[in-house]
Amino acid sequence: MAVLVRYGMVGGGSGAFIGQVHRNAIAIDPRVRLVAGAFSTHADKNNAVADLYSLDNDRVYSSYQEMAEKESQRPDGIDFVSITTPNSTHYDVAKCFLEHGIHVVCEKPLCFTVEQAEELVRLTKEKNLIFAVTYTYPGYAMCKVMKEMIAEGKIGKIAAVNAEYVQDWLLDELSSGDYSPNLSVWRTDPAKSGISNCVGDIGTHIEHTVHYLTGLNIKRLCATVNRFGKPLDLNANMLVEYEGGINGAYWCSQIAAGKLNGLAVRIYGSEGSLEWEQHYPDYVRYTPKGGATQLLSRGTGYITEKAASVSRLPSGHPEGLTMAFANIYKNVVDALVKLKAGGTVEPGEFDYATVEDGLAGVKFVKAVVESGDHDSRWVNL
C-alpha cells in the first residue's frame, strides 16, 4: 500500500473559484486525499464541499483555529493544509497551522506586510516545516525548460528583461464615477487586499516568475502606479535593476482591454533569447544568436528530460493551468512523502516556491507602492 498524504483546506467553499482549482490539481495525484476542511464561515457552503468530497462529519470545521488544533492531535491528522482564503487572512491562517506543526501550502500573496512575512519565515524554520506558496506559473513544464536552458547558458549572459502581466477584468473601474463596491470589491478594498491590488495580485507573479527563470534578484526599482481615483492600484509600470546592474521593465494592469491573463516573460541574453506567453503555455520562442526563432514545444524529443518529467501529455496536447498547479502540489507531496518515510528535505531539493519567495513578493509590492507614492524614486529591496 502506497503512503497516503492527507490534507485539509481552509477556504474554497462552494462557489469559490481558486479553491476548486487547487482541489482539482491535487486530485490527480492518487497519493493525496482531502480529509478535512474549514471551507467557509457559511455553514451551507462549508457543508456543500464536505459533502461533495464525502468528508467525515467530525472533520468539517467551522473555524480554521479549531481545525488546526483538532487535526494536530489526531493520529491520522492532515499532513498539510492548503490555504485559499482571501488575501487578508493568509497570515493568520498560515501562522496558526505552522504553530500547530502542520505543513502549509498557501496562495499568494503570502501576506500584507514584510513583518508578517518575516514572522512566517521565522516560524517555518523554527518548526522545520514545509511552506509552499502557490506561484502558479513556474509550475508549467515550459517554464522549467526555460529555467534549465538559462542555467545551461543557452542564451548567454542576461542583458535585458521585459515582462508583463495584463488583464482587463477591472476595466469598468475607469468609467465608474466613484469608488463603488462591485464584484471586484475585495480586490480594490485596502482592508481586504492590503496596500496594493494589481501589483499584489499579478505584479508579484512577474517578480517571482522572472526570478524563478533567471535566478536574478531585484536590487532596486522605480515605478509609476495608477489608481485612477480608486483606493488601490489598477495599473503600474516599473523599471527594475537586478543585482549585477542588469535592467528590466515590468508592466502589470487590470484595465487593458482584451488582455485576459496576459503574463508574458521575455529574457534576452548575449547568446540568444527566450519568450513565453501564458496564454500558450506549451510553447517557448527561442532564438539563438544569428539563427531563426524556434518554437519549442513541450513533449518533444528536443526538450530536456527534467522538463519531460513534469509533463503529462504528448506534445500538441495542451496541458493547461490545472496541470501547472498539479506540478506544484506534486513537488510538495514528493517532499512530504520523503519526510513521512523518515527522510529529510534540503532547501531547494523540491521545486516549489517557498515562504522566502513569498517574503520577496511582499517586499516587491511594498517597494513598488513606495516608489509610486514618492514620484517614482528608486527604492531598494
Pick out residues in 330-369 that bind a copy of itself (CB under 8 A). Answer: none
Among 79, 107, 207, 319, binds a copy of itself (CB under 8 A): 319
Which three-class secondary structure state does DSSP give residue 250? Answer: strand
With respect to a copy of itself, which residue has the nearer C-beta, 2 or 341?
A: 2
Cα atoms in the 13 Å half-sphere on the side-chain side of 70: 15
Quick one: which segment of 39-47, 65-73, 125-133, 269-277 binds a copy of itself (CB under 8 A)? Answer: 269-277
Shortest Å, Cβ 126 to a copy of itself: 34
Using CB under 8 A as the binding rule, whether residue 1 contacts a copy of itself is answered as: yes
Using CB under 8 A as the binding rule, whether residue 150 contacts a copy of itself is answered as: no
Among 75, 177, 181, 290, binds a copy of itself (CB under 8 A): 290
With respect to a copy of itself, which residue has the nearer C-beta, 79 or 282?
A: 282
Using CB under 8 A as the binding rule, whether residue 177 contacts a copy of itself is answered as: no
Give the DSSP letter of residue 173: G
Distance CA 337, CA 319 (A): 25
Using CB under 8 A as the binding rule, whether residue 376 contacts a copy of itself is answered as: yes
Q: Residue 157 corresponds to which amino acid?
A: K
Among 302, 305, 342, 346, binds a copy of itself (CB under 8 A): 302
Shortest Å, Cβ 91 to a copy of itself: 25
Distance CA 363, CA 253 (A): 19
Using CB under 8 A as the binding rule, whether residue 261 contacts a copy of itself is answered as: yes
Using CB under 8 A as the binding rule, whether residue 148 contacts a copy of itself is answered as: no
The residue to which cell 519526510 is assigned? 339
| Number of residues binding to a copy of itself, judged by CB under 8 A | 98
Q: Is 238 exposed, middle or buried (0-12, 13-18, 19+ CB in 10 A)?
A: buried
With respect to a copy of itself, which residue has the nearer C-beta, 194 or 269?
A: 269
Distance CA 147, CA 351 (A): 12
Shortest Å, Cβ 366 to a copy of itself: 19
Shortest Å, Cβ 206 to a copy of itself: 13
Element (H, E) at 5: strand 5-11
Quick one: which segment of 63-71, 274-282, 334-342, 362-370 binds a copy of itself (CB under 8 A)? Answer: 274-282
Nearest one of 361, 359, 337 to 350, comparing CA atoms: 337
Using CB under 8 A as the binding rule, whether residue 308 contacts a copy of itself is answered as: no
Which of the residues 202 through 241 are near a copy of itself (CB under 8 A)?
Answer: 222-224, 226, 228, 235, 237, 239, 241
Among 296, 335, 336, 367, binds a copy of itself (CB under 8 A): 296
Among 242, 286, 329, 352, binds a copy of itself (CB under 8 A): 286
Q: Is the preceding omega at residue 109 within 30 degrees of 0, hence cis?
A: yes
Using CB under 8 A as the binding rule, whether residue 292 contacts a copy of itself is answered as: yes
Among 217, 270, 304, 380, binds a copy of itself (CB under 8 A): 270
Shortest Å, Cβ 209 to a copy of itself: 15
Distance CA 197, CA 88 (A): 12
Using CB under 8 A as the binding rule, whether residue 278 contacts a copy of itself is answered as: yes
Nearest one of 376, 159, 119, 381 to 267, comparing CA atoms: 159
Nearest one of 314, 312, 321 to 263, comparing CA atoms: 321
Binding mask 20-39 for a copy of itself (x = CB under 8 A): xx-xx--xx-xx--x-----
What are the backbone dihedrals phi and psi of residue 350, each rounded to the nearest 5 degrees, phi first?
A: -115, 150
Cα atoms in the 13 Å half-sphere on the side-chain side of 238: 37
Among 42, 74, 122, 279, binds a copy of itself (CB under 8 A): 279
Nearest one of 295, 283, 276, 223 to 252, comparing CA atoms: 223
Using CB under 8 A as the binding rule, whether residue 291 contacts a copy of itself is answered as: yes
The residue to which cell 507531496 is assigned? 333
Q: Is 254 exposed, middle or buried (0-12, 13-18, 19+ CB in 10 A)?
A: buried
Give the DSSP letter of residue 301: T
